[in-house]
Each structure stands twice: as structure tokens, then as C-alpha cells.
Amino acid sequence: MLYNLVRGPQSPRESSPCKNDAVCVSEYLLNSYHCDCRPGFCGTHCEQGENRTHNAIKYCNPKAKSGYYVIDPDGEGGVKPIQVYCDMTEKEGLGVTVVSHDSENKTLVDVFDGYGSYSRDVTYYDTSLLLLASLTTSSAHFEQFIEYVCYHSALLFNGDMRGWWVSRNEENMTYWGAADSVPFKFACGLSNNTCADASYGCNFDKNDWEWRNDSGLFTEKSKLPVTQLRFGDTGVIKD
């Protein structure tokens, strides 16, 4: 006697649609299934989560409150996770991972006249540059604030630079806050030039005997975070 054996489609359990060690629960009456996620994971197939960034935490737990969380930007098997402060309310409810460093307070730079002769390494607390690079890559948006206040001291001077910042790739960068990829500019020197002297790309390049200020956000992810600051033209006691 000859039998024809016909195998039906795989059940959800056999096809393993659930990710991250979630349990696949069959719903036979509905001819469907759902995934029972492990803590910290969510999504139809538990594909979201693992606390890689604050956004993953926020996505899986929309009611998550601001506070300290352990995140793992490069995932399992990479560098060890870090504890950071997550502000879950600042950017229209999206949340912000806050990483602190040792250069957040104003620092007096004086008697450094040579171009770039003053050097300050930026040290980030409780993390490494490698992990910060992973955090930058995995984040939808990354930004870093810079402010420079000076008195009779030039900085960019339309290319004759007295100072610069150094990227994570050890590049000397020619643009400053809010002027990503536009060389020799701060925010005031963009299309609608509002600098103290419109012939320059920043306020302090007027180089007069008044206190001048420029500030803005770096947002070019492939260059951040800032690893070093270099300044010059501060050789006079009043600079």
C-alpha cells in the first residue's frame, strides 16, 4: 500500500520567529502566535531592547523615568556596558543620554601666544573613547556643546587658525559649534552672518578690546566626541 505524506506549514514554534530568547506562544484558535519577551525586550518579535541606548529603554518602557541606567551600545561581546544618566524628557520625550567630562566648567587660558600652543585633553567619566564611539554610532542623534569666551583674541581668522578641536579620529577640525562641515565658522558666521565683524566667521575674530562670545552644538556623529581643545593668541595678559 502506498501512502502520500504531506507535511503542512511550520508552526510558529518551529520557524522560531521570536528573537532574543523569547518564548513563542501559539494561539491555535486564531491561527497565530505571540512572543513572550524577556525583561528589557519588546516589539512584535522581541527584536527591540537589550538596553543598548536610552532610546531602546524608552521604546520598551515609555513611562521610564530620568535616572541612571546601564547601557551597552555595542551589544553583547563588545566592550563592557557603562552607567550613564538618561534624561527621558528633554528632547520632546525622546530622552537624552548624558555623558559628563572634565571640561564642563570655564577654564582660563592665558599667556599661550603660539597657534594651538595651549592643549587640553577632554576626559570622559566612567567610559572609554571606544565605547563613546559605539554610543555615537548607535544613537539617532549625537550632539556636544562648545562655548568660547575671549578678550582681544582671534581664533579662526578666515583660515589662519589660532585654535582648533580634535575629533575622535585625531583630526584637527576647522569648524566650530553649529557650523558642522563649514570651515572657519561658528554659528554667527553662517548664511545670515550676524558676527561682530561680518567679514569673519565668528565674533571673536574681530579681535577688539571687548569680551566676545561664541557657542553652539557639534552634531557630526562621525567626528564626535571631542577629544582635545587647542588654543593660541592668548599671549597678552588681557587676552
Q: Does 193 fall in a domain?
A: yes
Q: Does 237 fall in a domain?
A: no
Residues 175 and 162 in one domain: yes
Q: What is the pLDDT of residues 14-32, one digit of tens each?
A: 567 898 889 999 888 888 8
Residues 74 and 123 in one domain: no
What is the pLDDT confidence band of residue 185, given thresholds at 50, 70 and 90? very high
- Cα angle 199, 203, 207; round to 5: 80
Q: Does 107 fall in a domain?
A: no
Domain that holds residue 156: 118-231
Q: Does 206 fall in a domain?
A: yes
Residues 181 and 122 in one domain: yes
Q: Tell me how long the chain is.
A: 239
Q: Does 111 fall in a domain?
A: no
| Residue 135 near residue 99 (C-beta atoms within 8 A) | yes
Q: Which of 98, 132, 164 is the last residue of a domain?
A: 98
Residues 122 and 197 in one domain: yes
pTM over 0.85: no
What is the pLDDT confidence band of residue 72, given thresholds at 50, 70 and 90? confident
Residues 144 and 211 in one domain: yes
pLDDT over 70, % of the chain = 90
Residues 72 and 162 in one domain: no
Residues 135 and 224 in one domain: yes
CATH code at position 27: 2.10.25.10
DSSP string, the chain: --------PPPHHHH----TTPEEEEEGGGTEEEEEPPTTEESTTS-EETTSSHHHHHHH-TTPPSEEEEE-TT-TTSSPPEEEEEESSTTTTS-EEE--BTT-S-----S--STT-EEEE--BTTS-HHHHHHHHHHSS---EEEEEEEES--S-GGG--S-EEE-TTS-EE---TT-TT-TT--GGGSSS--SSSTTSSSGGGG--SSEEEEEEEE--TTTPSP-EEEE----STT-
Domain total of the chain: 3
Q: What is the pLDDT of residues 85-113, one digit of tens each?
A: 988 886 666 678 889 999 999 999 999 99
Q: Does residue 239 carry a pLDDT above 50?
A: no
Q: Does 112 fall in a domain?
A: no
Residues 40 and 63 in one domain: no
Report pLDDT for 15: 63
